Structure 1
Amino acid sequence: MRLLEFKIQINATPEKVWEVLFTQDAYQKWASAMNEGTYFEGTWEEGSVMKFLDPKNNGMYNKVIKNIPNRELSMKHLGWIFDGELSPQDWEDSTISYFLEPYENKTLLIGRVNSLDEFVDFFNTKYPKNFEKIKELSEEQ
């Protein structure tokens, strides 16, 4: 396991950044940097399962372990989804967390991924692009 960290300063309030991160329309725009057509199913409530799917009904699913609106959201990676069917994986303590730190009407967005070695290149390649898109969408008026 490797702990990866991604940061970006955004000229928007935490409320605006949170909205971009976790509402369907905005999520689909920034997550397209990872996989075109990606969307989510679920509620973001603590204890709930979130599914992240592509147009072919494949993807992954996570359990929300912490949700403090406009401040922090953390999830544990649980497994893959193939043709809509859940395929649990033993991914140890593989997690992803988003932290929003406000300062002077701006936000420092921090993403921390506790990643299995086999996914490190994926996160290092995709997440900086995701964060740039999140910044762009959050700063739009």
Structure 2
Amino acid sequence: MKKLEFTIEINASKENVWDALWIDENYRNWTSVFHEGSYYESDLAEGSEILFLGPEKSGMFAVIQKMVLFEKMYFLHQGEILNGEKQEGTFGENAIEQYDLAEKDGKTELSVTLNAPEEYMSYFVNTFPKALEKVKEISEK
């Protein structure tokens, strides 16, 4: 696993950015950059499970380690989902994905930190900035 960090400044309140990230319709919009038809199933409460899925019912599952409304959403990935079936332990112990929002003077800095397997490094380096541009676009509407 290798740590990646992405940051973008958005001309919107942290509440707008949060909604751009986690309201279902918006989530489906910005994550389409990764995989068309992506969605999640969860109540987004700290300690809850979250399923990150595509139209074929495959994806990943994680636990929400930390959730501070309008500020932090941290996931610890547990494994993959293939054809609707969980594949336990398919990720290492440090498979994190963290979203941090900090607002100052009407602008919000969105930082994303994740640990990615070596084989996915170039994919995330090329794709995550495009996804964050979509979050910015949604937030600034």
State TM-score, norm by structure 2.
0.95
Counterpart AA for 1:92: E
CA RMSD of aligned residues (A): 0.9
Q: Taking every aligned residue pair, what percent have the same amino acid on both sides? A: 36
> Take 1:69 and 1:126, find their aligned partners in 2: how far apart are those partners?
26
How many residue pairs get aligned? The number is 140
Where in structure 2 are the equivalents of 1:1-141 lying within 5 Å? 1-88=1-88, 89-140=90-141
In structure 1, runs of 5+ residues without a counterpart are none
> Take 2:126 and 2:91, find their aligned partners in 1: how far apart are those partners?
24
> Take 2:10 and 2:109, find their aligned partners in 1: how far apart are those partners?
6
| Deviation of 1:115 (Å) | 1.9
Per-residue Cα deviation, 1:6-55 (whole angstroms, up to 9, x for no partner): 01000000000001111101000000000001011011111111101111
> Take 1:90 and 1:107, find their aligned partners in 2: how far apart are those partners?
31
> Take 2:76 and 2:22, find their aligned partners in 1: how far apart are those partners?
16
State TM-score, norm by structure 1.
0.95
> Take 1:80 and 1:16, find their aligned partners in 2: how far apart are those partners?
30
In structure 2, runs of 5+ residues without a counterpart are none
